[in-house]
């Protein structure tokens, strides 16, 4: 996603009904592996029925959730805010008394036989967050899911954590004048009595709850050309379209002309598009863009303006691979989503506008990292942060993206993308932590990256070495003296040294600075004369402030 100023609104509400089907996409290892939020519970599917009346807003929900439990697990806890009143619960078709308090529903499973459980929850009440329900500028009611990070509980009973992914189906009843878009494949639309229609969608791959959304409004669907015919994971062209308010129809395709080439580039770098389709939706969201699986939501006021850019489209599209298909298991590893989207958007810049534009973009990202106060105080992998919205910062985006840039530069194209492809395939439609990425890159490159990941991701700030040099005329050598503050740990740095001479061509050499408080390094080669000047990291590839002793 791309963040923007957060505006809280009192939101109108809708009606919701849900039933479940035990469908599961490709996963990884045991279904309970990594479910740290609610160990021993694995939700398999949410199948959601929503009624959207063209008046005000009120939720009446009837939700059936299909899950598996590990042996000995006696309780299923669903997240649902107290403002929604639970009217009844059934477990495997048997009624039980609801226990709903502190924004949770505690469901006892002690009398349930076997490892599968079906839970039905009936509830109603007013929604104030999570589902944005309001009138647009023309006075037309619209509905848009807006769940990140853990706001799904504001309108749906779920295990509201990214470590438990599930498939999802939607059946949405809305005024016939509204178009409904949601995750996955469109299964059908049929007319109902009273000027209503019913639209059904299903996402067959497991996704985290924060990506489970619907959008409904007077939207016009505009198909996009499939230039290059980007291939999905089922070996067919990825259908892409833009859903906009009718008054913006003539503005298209605009920057969305790049949507198909963006998908094609990312497929060539990582692997086939992981889902059934990709919709780009004009919506109401507190974020500039939100990467909902197969249905990216963009802020309403970006249409039609220059702020709707190819860079934003590339950023949100990259999330379909990183963040959506491969989801961070814990919030503190958000850089695995936002850092990837930041760097892949820059790779699109390189493809579409050339190397100089790419270098300029990375230079701008580097400046932001070096100047940011949060970067100076907190690490990228910030497991201590419990205000998840505060993770939308320069660590997760800019520093995370620049860390990938440094890895790419150090490992080279072949090893870097081979490692990314292996990481993606190993964790597609599942979860990952930062060390999972490290392991795959180490395997691809044959290089230990423990020090790299530790210093750039688990420490606040950036490298700050002091480097001095001396020329020895007796043996024509140059030595560096490198001092590093050890309070946060010394950095291992691949350093380029550029030298200019009065009567000889300029020269460059590469050396490795060890992770030591004090190190003396002799540059490789012989230098007949003393350099006129020395420059360290002349291309500014490192996140480092280099001074003199």
331-457 and 219-321 share a CATH fold: yes
Q: Are 358 and 535 in contact (CB under 8 A)?
A: no
CA 549, CA 535: separation in Å to the nearest integer? 15
Q: What are phi and psi of 198, to 5 degrees?
A: -125, 125
CA 244, CA 8: separation in Å to the nearest integer? 23
CATH topology of domain 219-321: Neutral Protease; domain 2 (1.10.390)
Of 282, 284, 222, 220, the C-alpha closest to 246 is: 220
Of 328, 510, 299, 291, the C-alpha closest to 430 is: 328
Of 182, 188, 184, 244, the C-alpha closest to 214 is: 182
**Alpha carbon distances (Å) from 273 to 46, 257, 322, 407:** 23, 18, 11, 24
Which residues make Cβ contacts (< 8 Å) with residue 231, sequence separation at least 6? 237, 238, 267, 272, 273
User: Cα 285 from chain centroid?
Assistant: 16
Which residues make Cβ contacts (< 8 Å) with residue 452, sequence separation at least 6? 407, 410, 492
pTM score of the predicted model: 0.92
Q: Are 43 and 77 in contact (CB under 8 A)?
A: no
CA 85, CA 465: separation in Å to the nearest integer? 59
CA 206, CA 166: separation in Å to the nearest integer? 4
- Provide the pLDDT for residue 279: 98
495-523 tens-digit pLDDT: 999 999 999 999 999 999 999 999 999 99
- Provide the pLDDT for residue 515: 97
The residues facing 508 across adjacent strands are 498
CA 290, CA 279: separation in Å to the nearest integer? 12
CA 442, CA 415: separation in Å to the nearest integer? 9
Sketch the domain layout of the chain as residue ranges. Answer: 219-321, 331-457, 466-536
Coil vs helix vs strand at 510: strand
CA 532, CA 34: separation in Å to the nearest integer? 57
CA 201, CA 180: separation in Å to the nearest integer? 9
Q: Are 149 and 388 in contact (CB under 8 A)?
A: yes
Q: Which parts of the chain sit beneath pLDDT 50? A: 5-28, 234
* CB count in 10 Å sphere of residue 267: 19
331-457 placed in CATH 1.10.390.10? yes
């Amino acid at each position: 996603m791309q963040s923007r100023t957060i505006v809280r609104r009192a939101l109108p509400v809708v009606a919701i009904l849900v039933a479940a089907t035990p469908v599961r996409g490709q996963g990884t290892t045991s279904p309970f592996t990594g479910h740290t939020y609610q160990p021993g519970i694995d939700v398999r599917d949410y199948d959601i029925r929503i009624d959207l009346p063209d008046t005000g807003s009120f939720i009446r929900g009837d939700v059936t959730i299909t899950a598996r439990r590990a042996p000995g697990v006696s309780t299923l806890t669903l997240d649902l805010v107290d403002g929604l009143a639970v009217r009844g619960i059934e477990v495997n078709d048997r009624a039980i008394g609801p226990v709903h308090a502190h924004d949770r529903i505690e469901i006892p499973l002690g009398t349930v036989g076997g490892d599968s459980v079906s839970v039905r929850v009936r509830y109603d009440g007013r929604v104030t967050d999570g589902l944005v329900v309001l009138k647009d500028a023309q006075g037309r009611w619209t509905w848009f899911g807006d769940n990140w990070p853990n706001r799904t509980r504001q309108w749906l009973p779920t295990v509201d954590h990214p470590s438990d992914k599930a498939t999802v189906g939607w059946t949405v009843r809305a005024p016939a004048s509204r178009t409904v878009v949601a995750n996955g494949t469109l299964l059908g639309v049929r007319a109902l009595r009273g000027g209503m229609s019913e639209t059904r969608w299903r996402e067959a791959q497991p996704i985290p709850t924060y990506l489970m959304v619907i959008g409904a409004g007077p939207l016009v669907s505009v198909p996009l050309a499939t230039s290059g015919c980007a291939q999905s994971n089922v070996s067919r062209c990825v259908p892409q379209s833009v859903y906009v308010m009718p008054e913006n129809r003539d503005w298209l395709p605009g920057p969305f002309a790049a949507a198909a080439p963006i998908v094609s580039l990312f497929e060539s770098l990582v692997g086939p598009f992981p889902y059934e389709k990709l919709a780009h939706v004009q919506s109401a969201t507190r974020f500039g863009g939100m990467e909902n699986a197969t249905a990216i939501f963009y802020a309403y006021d970006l249409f039609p303006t220059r702020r709707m850019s190819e860079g934003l489209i590339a950023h949100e599209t990259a999330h379909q691979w990183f963040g959506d298909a491969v989801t961070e298991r814990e919030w503190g590893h958000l850089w695995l989503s936002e850092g990837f989207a930041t760097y892949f958007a820059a790779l699109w810049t390189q493809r579409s506008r050339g190397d100089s534009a790419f270098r300029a973009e990375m230079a701008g990202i580097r400046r932001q990292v070096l100047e940011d106060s949060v970067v100076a105080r907190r690490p990228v992998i910030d497991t201590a942060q419990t205000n998840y919205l505060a993770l939308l910062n320069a660590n997760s985006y800019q520093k995370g993206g620049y860390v990938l840039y440094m890895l790419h530069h150090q490992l080279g194209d072949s090893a870097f993308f081979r490692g990314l492809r292996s990481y993606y395939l190993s964790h597609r439609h599942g979860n990952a932590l930062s060390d999972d990425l490290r392991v795959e890159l180490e395997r691809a490159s044959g290089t230990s990256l423990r020090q790299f990941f530790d210093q750039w991701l688990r420490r606040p700030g950036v490298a700050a070495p002091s480097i001095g040099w001396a020329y020895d005329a007796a043996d024509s050598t140059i030595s560096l003296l490198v001092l590093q503050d050890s309070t946060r740990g010394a950095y291992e740095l691949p350093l380029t040294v550029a030298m200019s001479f009065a009567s000889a061509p300029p020269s460059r050499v590469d050396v490795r600075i060890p992770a030591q408080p004090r190190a003396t390094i002799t540059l490789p080669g012989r230098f007949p004369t003393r350099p006129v000047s020395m420059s360290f990291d002349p291309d500014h590839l490192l996140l480092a402030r280099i001074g003199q002793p």
